[in-house]
Amino acid sequence: MTKRIGVFVCKCGMNIAGSVDCEAVTEFARTLPDVAFAANNSYTCSEPGQAEIKKGIADHNLDRVVVASCTPRMHEPTFRKTIEEAGINPYLLEMANIREQCSWVHLHDKAAATEKAKDLVKMSVARARELEAQTEAVVPVTRAAMVIGGGIAGIQAALDFAENGYKVFLVEKEPSIGGLMAQIDKTYPTMDCSI
């Protein structure tokens, strides 16, 4: 089945455009297999940038999106929400980090930065082609914990869990708990009982 991938290249003001020829990267993206639409803008994460993604999805019947911009750690949730609002499964998004991994690294070599950005976009388009829609599952959590080892640390961990409302299972291989501390009569410097 043929995919319809949209590529959106962000200039990020001059953060990317100062080192990367974004128009050349966009033109290159248009030549890639399954790319139905490619565009660039000043700030893809801004409201107008997100609106352009939604418009591109609607106008070109896109089923996957590649955003070439900054690190996914910064705006991946933003773009997932954007494509979901446009009717695409949020897991059909791929990001190419052409800011931190490209323009900032090759700050004074625009030709090399542009070629690397093209490679990053090409790889992201290839990955986007293989993406599958995902659904999020809600899994019930059982508020129980198993603590392995009944020494002082294990006893303290079991107490901490219990104080936070967890049912605790304390497992100890020896016949009694306390570990090495149970074998000592007194502890230095107070000479108190060890247990």
**What pLDDT is attached to residue 194?**
62
* Percentage of the residues of the chain whose pLDDT score is greater than 70: 98
Q: Answer with the one of 81, 107, 130 that is the final residue of a domain.
A: 130
**Residue 23: closest CA among 3, 7, 46:** 7
pTM over 0.85: no
Of 130, 157, 181, the domain-final residue: 130
Arithmetic mean of pLDDT, 117-142: 95
Q: In Å, how far are 88, 115, 179 from 25, measured between CA atoms?
A: 24, 8, 64
Give yes or no for residue 131 having a pLDDT over 80: yes
The answer to whether residues 10 and 40 touch, using CB atoms and an 8 Å cutoff, is yes
Q: How many helices (H) and strands (E) does the chain have?
A: 6, 8
Q: Which domain holds residue 170?
A: 144-193
Asked if residue 125 and residue 175 are part of one domain, the reply reads no
One-letter amino acid of 83: I
pLDDT band at 188 (very low <50, low <70, confident <90, very high): confident
